[in-house]
């Protein structure tokens, strides 16, 4: 059934470096405290470990502890849970974003653009296929961190999706790019954009300022949180999106990119 509203809860944590048990306990405590309606609960990139280049030690199969935990949380708290994990499949490692529904169905998106500056491309296999998930008549295009820098991959070529959702471990040193590009993706795609990041310091001594954000279809900032741990639910309005696209039909004039 279609809904005029979409309730997305953004969790911005201080991830404990490569400590799955501590992180999952922290997230359940946070999720259990969410009040009010929630369709989707979004966690950052590699939410159980931090942005680690040690998949040989940390990767899990699709029936592993963290995936089972996501499924349990989705059922227990009656929500869709999403975020990325280090997954091993067929002898390869993926930075995989999961879309875990309370009915047991799981959608997957493997990060397309691997961050060569941190040697991610030397440890992980890139994805080839997009995932536009659906909930209550809303279409959500799932993306991971570095994908944000490549607008063709997220291009709304007509009326493909309503929300762009980026989960990330994006360091403070490049926070200006994070905030600016999230807003730009909203403007150019006439879409809601949700960016989910982390705070604190990781095992490589990188600082994270969070700056998790939500932007409207004209690039208007709806919410943003910097520096502190946060759990915030934002309500997106379908009527605003449709009226904006109808009044300003910019998407009709977009170039039709072809990915080769």
pLDDT given at position 256: 76
Strands 106-110 and 132-135 turn out to be: unpaired
Q: Which residues of 26-52 are buried (b: 16+ CB within 10 A; e: fewer)?
A: bbeebbeebeeebbbbbbbbbbbbbbb
Q: What is the pLDDT of residue 148?
A: 98
- Tell me the domain boundaries of the chain: 5-252
| Mean pLDDT over each residue of the chain, to the nearest integer | 96
How many whole angstroms separate alpha carbon 94 and alpha carbon 190?
30
95 phi/psi in degrees, rounded to 5 = -90, 95
In tens, the pLDDT along 155-189 reads: 998 789 999 999 999 999 999 999 999 999 999 99
Average pLDDT, integer, range 214-236: 98
pLDDT band at 1 (very low <50, low <70, confident <90, very high): very low
The pLDDT value given to residue 44: 98
pLDDT of residue 257: 67
pLDDT above 70 (res 260):
no
Q: Which residues are catalytic?
A: 45, 111, 145
Q: pLDDT of 146-156, one tens digit each? A: 999 999 999 99
Q: How far apart are CA 29 and CA 54, in angstroms?
A: 27
Residue 242 burial (10 A CB sphere; 0-12, 13-18, 19+) = middle
Q: Tell whether pTM > 0.85.
A: yes
Q: CA–CA separation, 45 vs 53, rounded Å?
A: 13
pLDDT, tens digit (0-9, with 9 covering 90-100), for 113-148: 999 999 999 999 999 999 999 999 999 999 999 999
Q: What is the CATH number of domain 5-252?
A: 3.60.110.10
Length of the chain as a residue count: 260
State the average pLDDT over residues 54-67: 98
How many beta carbons lie within 10 A of that of residue 109, not counting itself? Answer: 26
pLDDT at 258: 65
Mean pLDDT of 238-259: 89
Pull the structure tokens for residue 75.
């059922």
Contact (CB, 8 A) for 221 and 183: yes
Mean pLDDT of 78-93: 98
| Residues 70-98: b if buried by 16+ CB within 10 A, e if exposed | bbebbeebebbbbbbbbbbeeeebbbbbb
Q: What is the CA radius of gyration of the chain?
A: 17
Residue 255 is predicted with a pLDDT of 82
pLDDT of residue 96: 98
Query: From CA 153, how far away is CA 168, in angstroms rounded?
Result: 16
Classify residue 149 by its DSSP letter. Answer: G
């Amino acid at each position: 059934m279609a809904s005029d509203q979409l309730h997305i809860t953004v969790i911005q944590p201080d991830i404990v470096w490569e400590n799955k048990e501590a992180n999952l306990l922290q997230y359940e405590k946070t999720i259990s405290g969410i009040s009010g309606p929630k369709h989707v609960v979004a966690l950052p990139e590699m939410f159980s470990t931090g942005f680690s280049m040690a998949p040989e030690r940390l990767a899990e199969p699709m029936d592993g502890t963290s995936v089972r935990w996501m499924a349990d949380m989705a059922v227990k708290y009656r929500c869709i849970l999403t975020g990325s994990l280090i997954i091993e499949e067929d002898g390869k490692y993926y930075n995989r974003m999961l879309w875990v529904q309370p009915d047991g169905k799981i959608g997957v998106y493997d990060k397309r653009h691997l961050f060569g500056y941190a040697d991610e491309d030397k440890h992980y296999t890139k994805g080839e296929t997009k995932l536009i998930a659906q909930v209550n008549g809303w279409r959500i295009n799932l993306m991971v961190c570095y994908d944000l820098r490549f607008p063709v991959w997220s291009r709304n070529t007509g009326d493909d999706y309503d929300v762009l959702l980026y989960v990330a471990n994006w360091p403070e040193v490049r926070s200006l790019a994070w905030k600016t590009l999230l807003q730009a993706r909203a403007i150019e795609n006439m879409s809601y954009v949700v960016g989910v990041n982390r705070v604190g310091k990781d095992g490589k001594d990188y600082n994270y300022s969070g700056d998790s954000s939500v932007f409207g279809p004209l690039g208007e900032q709806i919410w943003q949180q910097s520096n502190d741990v946060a759990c915030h639910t934002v309500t997106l309005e379908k009527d605003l999106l449709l009226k904006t696209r109808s009044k300003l039909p910019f998407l009709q004039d977009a170039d039709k990119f072809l990915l080769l």
